[in-house]
Structure 1
Amino acid sequence: MRDTHIRRSSSLVLAASALGLAFAAPVAWANDAAERLTERLDPLENYQATFEQQILDGGGERLQSARGEMWLSRPGMLRWEVDAPYTQIVVSDGEEVYLYDPDLEQVTVQAMDDRVTHTPALLLSGSSNNITASYDVFHEQQDGADVFTLIPISADTLFEELSMVFDDQTLTELWMMDSTGQRTSIMFSDIIRNGNVDRSLYDFDIPEGTDVIREGL
């Protein structure tokens, strides 16, 4: 039987994941890099994609892999569905975040506080001004792609370094490294920017008979 703690913590990093295979040293000054990142994020109203995720330990050994689909819309709305190797769903309606595990018949509900909104996926659904105010931003080009590396100004975050990879205006990868050296990589495909997204995707009705755990509410 899978360890419940591992599944719950990895899935918020999942809805919240991204992570750092060591990019080369950033080369653009922070102010210039923040402006460049803002230029890419400001036009983003919604985003949907399929994803492949891997979590690696500090030595590069793979600890976990997963795949699924995600949708986000501004402000603060997210749906993150893990299809394999097991099913999990994370939904944010802009006020609360629901982490649902069908196998365990359990849903965890959290308020949209600062720590939760600084998880990578929800970070993208927020204001670009908040991002550039909360992180030192650096930029470089690798193999024709734009790589933006974010270093948190505050210590109260789920990651120590986050990188966003853009092909022209489109986000294609996220990389994240946490304080333990654990790294998460997420690669996106079948990407649609600013398409038609059904807002009901961000509504979550708790299934009958499900155990509800409320944190910070």
Structure 2
Amino acid sequence: MRDTQTRRPSSLALAASALGLTLMAPLAMANEAAERLTERLDPLESYHASFEQQILDGSGERLQDARGEMWLSRPGLLRWEVEAPYTQTVVSDGNDVYLYDPDLEQVTIQALDERVTHTPALLLSGQVSELTESYDVEYEQDSGDDVFTLVPTSADTLFEQLQLIFDGNMLTELWMTDSTGQRTAITFSNAERNGDIDDARFEFDIPDGTDVIREDRR
């Protein structure tokens, strides 16, 4: 993981502090980072990739591995299929999100509200302006990759930090850290940006005999 490092303040920063300019430089840097992220995401209309996912505890020990495939079309459309070691499907049709577990023969339906869009996979399918308004954005380069670190401005989120890593315009990695220090690392491969995706990919037909749990809209 490419951790954001805390750097020792330079003499220029200390001089700015003495002149009462401490708020101006961080604000400019934050705006520049948000603009850079907007430049990456604004042209993104669709995205299709395979993924490998690891869940690590606070000490870095691997707790779980998974792999699968994802399709995304903005705004609000997503299909996220976990293929192994278990099968699970998440589909967003722009209004509702379906979380289907075939082993349990159960599907949970949630409204695509603010709480749901704070999950990383759905976050990418939303409006860029909402993203940069809801998160403090930092930017750095690491070995030629562009690394964006997002910290939620609200406490009502499912994670404390999110990192998006780009190689050029292609999203290659996504890292999420929750309040317990547990990290989820997702690596994308065989990615296609702005290709044609059939709208039927974002429809979900509930299989016969499946238990349906529907959460009320807030």
TM-score higher than 0.5: yes
* Structure 2 residue 148 is matched with structure 1 residue 148: yes
Partner of 1:24: 4
Q: 1:169 to 1:34 in 2, by over 3 A?
A: same
Post-superposition shift, 1:24? 2.9
Cα deviation code 1:118-177 (max 9, x no counterpart): 111111101111110000000000000000000000011111000000001110000010
Q: Distance in 2 between matches of 1:35 and 1:22?
A: 21
Match of 2:148, SS? strand
Post-superposition shift, 1:22? 5.3
Greater RCO, CA 8 A, separation 6+: 1
The runs of at least 4 aligned residues of structure 1 exceeding 2 Å deviation read: 24-28
* Structure 2 residue 125 is matched with structure 1 residue 125: yes
- For the 8 Å contact 2:2–2:142, the answer to whether it is kept is no
Q: Distance in 1 between matches of 2:82 and 2:123?
A: 19
Q: Distance in 2 between matches of 1:25 and 1:148?
A: 13
Partner of 1:40: 40
* Structure 2 residue 199 is matched with structure 1 residue 208: no
Match of 1:114, SS? coil
Cα deviation code 1:88-146 (max 9, x no counterpart): 00000010000001111110111111010111111110111111000000000000000
Aligned pairs, number: 197
Amino acid at match of 1:209: G
- For the 8 Å contact 1:26–1:149, the answer to whether it is kept is no
- For the 8 Å contact 2:4–2:149, the answer to whether it is kept is no
Partner of 1:159: 159
Contiguous gaps of at least 5 residues in structure 2? 8-25
Q: Distance in 1 between matches of 2:39 and 2:168?
A: 11
Amino acid at match of 1:103: D
Q: Distance in 1 between matches of 2:103 and 2:152?
A: 35
Q: Distance in 2 between matches of 1:170 and 1:198?
A: 21
Structure 1 residues 207-216 or 46-55, which shifts more? 207-216
Match of 2:115, SS? helix
Q: Distance in 1 between matches of 2:2 and 2:192?
A: 28
Amino acid at match of 1:119: T
Give TM-score scaled by structure 2 length: 0.88
Give TM-score scaled by structure 1 length: 0.88
